[in-house]
Structure 1
Amino acid sequence: MIDPLDSLLSDIQHECDNAAVDMFGAETTARWKSPSFAAIMEHPDSVGEMTGSCNDSIKIFLKFDGNRICKASFYTTGCGASIVSADAVCELSSGKTIDEASEIDGEDIIRTLGKVPEDKKHCAHLASSALQEALGTWLEMNKKNNPL
């Protein structure tokens, strides 16, 4: 016999999943449920953190191999749109040089995600800003360590 509470919870979860797919599409919903880059990195080379007007905060952690990002991860206190945006910016920046990564903006993240509701697009720009902050921090630290 199926517990009525378990059945109700299953129905609610199914409704939530359907709403997320309607709002973000199947691929982005799958990214939200299982982000590839969600982790607080130990001993990062650089960190960038930004808080948006919505009070969502995204922190981007970077490891470098020379001038190339060899590992990226994120932590966010934000909503699903912040999670998928931070995950996408980590994906987009991994393996890129600093110059290449500095070109990544919110619109690149939105294109990568595909379907983002208008009222959630600011999360993509927040993730991009956190990446730019991490890159700027790394450049500033290296300028101090290797002055011209």
Structure 2
Amino acid sequence: MTRNRRRKAEIHAHQAATGTAYLVARRQIIAFAEVMQQHPQLNSFGIGVFDARRKTAEQRQTDLAAGREELAGGVAMVMETAAWLRENITPIKTPTASSYSVKHVMEQATGSYVTNGEFIAAALLAGYTFKYAQPNVLFGMSDRDLKRMN
């Protein structure tokens, strides 16, 4: 019997939304949870919160929690984006491509909107090298492939 009913319900919901097999959905949910745990500042906005210097510590914490909650609800889009990245963009060692600019390239190519945080989570799941450049992240993605997409 399952001990974590909430996780099982999440897996079933993701499975129903994406049409994937239970084990595939489970693997995706676990991988996404690991990325969220490894990057505690990651949320739907990107890394950190918008206009952090003008906010109190409590406001920043509230905004971060809300952004993480919003990002957690976008597992299906994160997985679709990760699959698109693996198929279309070759990884390189040096992180030079900004998440925000590549997000727009992907949106033009697919016609789907994705938040900066969803894109970052997808690229982290896909295994690209990265470097924080708050609120964005620089990724090691082939410039040739990105230009081909434009």
TM-score range, shorter chain: 0.3 to 0.5
Larger Rg: 1
Higher strand share: 1
Choose between structure 1 and 2: higher helix proportion: 2
Normalised TM-score (structure 2): 0.33
TM-score by length of 1: 0.33
Q: Larger relative CO (CA 8 A, sep 6+): 1 or 2?
A: 2
